């Protein structure tokens, strides 16, 4: 690998501001905020709006639209007779 061309790959904490859920992973993202993690070390902090703890698809609150009924109503109303 060439030296000086790759971004710094480090441990970063991502925190969901909607559900106060946080997880530690590795990333190259740059941030100014820091947080003290459960292991006692301080890590860069990235605040996110949606994660698996707050997204409706993962929480089971995802609503499925009745597209089949809409199509049939359209065909009944405007279909060739």
What is the per-residue pLDDT across 8-60, written as a single tens digit (0 to 9) for each? 899 999 998 888 889 999 999 999 999 999 999 999 999 988 776 776 555 56
Q: What is the model's pLDDT at position 56?
A: 58
Angle at 47 between CA 46 and CA 50, to 5 degrees: 125
Q: Domain coordinates of the chain in residue numbers?
A: 10-78
Query: What CA dihedral angle connects 25, 30, 28 and 35, to 10 degrees?
Result: -20
Q: Is the pLDDT of residue 80 over 70?
A: no
Q: What is the model's pLDDT at position 37?
A: 94
What pTM was estimated for this model as a whole? 0.64
CB 35 within 8 A of CB 15: yes
Identify the three-state secondary structure at position 80.
Answer: coil
Q: What is the model's pLDDT at position 59?
A: 57
Q: What is the model's pLDDT at position 70?
A: 74
């Amino acid at each position: 690998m060439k030296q000086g061309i790759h971004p710094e790959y480090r441990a970063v904490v991502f925190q969901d501001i909607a559900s106060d859920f946080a997880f530690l992973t590795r990333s190259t993202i740059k941030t100014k905020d820091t947080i003290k993690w459960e292991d006692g070390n301080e890590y860069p902090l990235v605040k996110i709006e949606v994660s698996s703890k707050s997204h409706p698809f993962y929480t089971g609150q995802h609503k499925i639209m009745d597209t089949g009924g809409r199509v049939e109503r359209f065909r009944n109303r405007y279909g060739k007779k």
